Amino acid sequence: MGTGDKLIEITDLEKHYNFGAIKALDGVTVEVNRGDVIVVIGPSGSGKSTFLRSLNLLEEPTGGAIIFDGVDITRKKYKDADGKWVKVNMDLHRQKMGMVFQHFNLFPHMTIMDNMILAPVKVKNVPEEEARKKALELLDRVGLRDRADAYPIQLSGGQKQRIAIVRALMMEPEVMLFDEPTSALDPEMVGEVLDVMKQLAKEGMTMVVVTHEMGFAREVGNRVLFMAEGKLLEQGTPSDIFENPQHPRLREFLSKVL
């Protein structure tokens, strides 16, 4: 799965509140390679959501670096090759990172179709016809083509989350970030969302997934990160993590969730 081709390089990432009194992220170093499916697990409050949200700067880290596309996006500006100061355009980087949220965050005042074509048309200036065609194809893939003209309120949770995933895919991102995508769903709807994610992984999409679904982590992930108290305590292949955990904190965590 992983190709060894570096996509995101995260070094010593820190997120401190109150001048270091609270450390939501405390020196996290991870490399994300193209094609990786990285699953982040850990107890609640361990900083895994903060970590994920830092990757596209929905949270602003207070230290460390995130190199994406060769640019350290944690900086507001940087010196280019000619020694000129260049402002970091975060909107540009975010276009290449799709994000799926726990609470779907569909736009309630728009139809599903409009939800999907808004960003491509307004941000990337894709012709509307083309965007519509693409949206229908994607809706087909998740089996929701007939709901294109519905409003989000008319859909079930599982349907909303599937729409949220394809909405992010409309921007043709290089990496997809999932922030507990199944935590707000009824148990019987978890499967349909995980199926879409598995399909994506199979197609080679780079993914970083924060989840409590250990089955998904074991089956789909090629690397599992265990976080607690803002630190990355252990990382490895699913079999390393689940069959042969080293860190006592991880053992304790697994004994509770498995």
Q: Contact positions toward other proteins, by CB under 8 A? A: 16, 19-20, 56, 58, 60, 62-63, 74-79, 85, 88, 91-92, 94-95, 97-99, 101, 103, 105-109, 118-119, 122-124, 153, 164, 167-168, 171, 177
Among residues 15 and 249, whose Cβ is nearest to other proteins? Answer: 15
CB 153 within 8 A of CB 108: yes
Q: Which residue has the tokens 């094609």?
A: 35
Among residues 85 and 244, whose Cβ is nearest to other proteins? Answer: 85
Q: How far is the CB of 8 from other proteins (least distance, A)?
A: 15
239: Cβ contacts below 8 Å, ≥ 6 apart:
none
Q: How far is the CB of 95 from other proteins (least distance, A)?
A: 3
Strands (E), 137-198: 175-179
Q: How far is the CB of 124 from other proteins (least distance, A)?
A: 8
Q: How far is CA 3 from CA 6, 101, 120, 126, 237, in A?
A: 8, 27, 28, 30, 15
Q: How far is the CB of 252 from other proteins (least distance, A)?
A: 32
Among residues 36 and 179, whose Cβ is nearest to other proteins? Answer: 179
Q: What is the dihedral of CA 122, 126, 132, 133, to 10 degrees?
A: -160
Among residues 118 and 254, whose Cβ is nearest to other proteins? Answer: 118
CB 73 within 8 A of CB 88: yes
Among residues 172 and 252, whose Cβ is nearest to other proteins? Answer: 172
Residue 13 bridge partners (DSSP): 28
Q: How far is the CB of 227 from other proteins (least distance, A)?
A: 21
Cα angle 104-110-111, degrees, rounded to a multiple of 5: 90
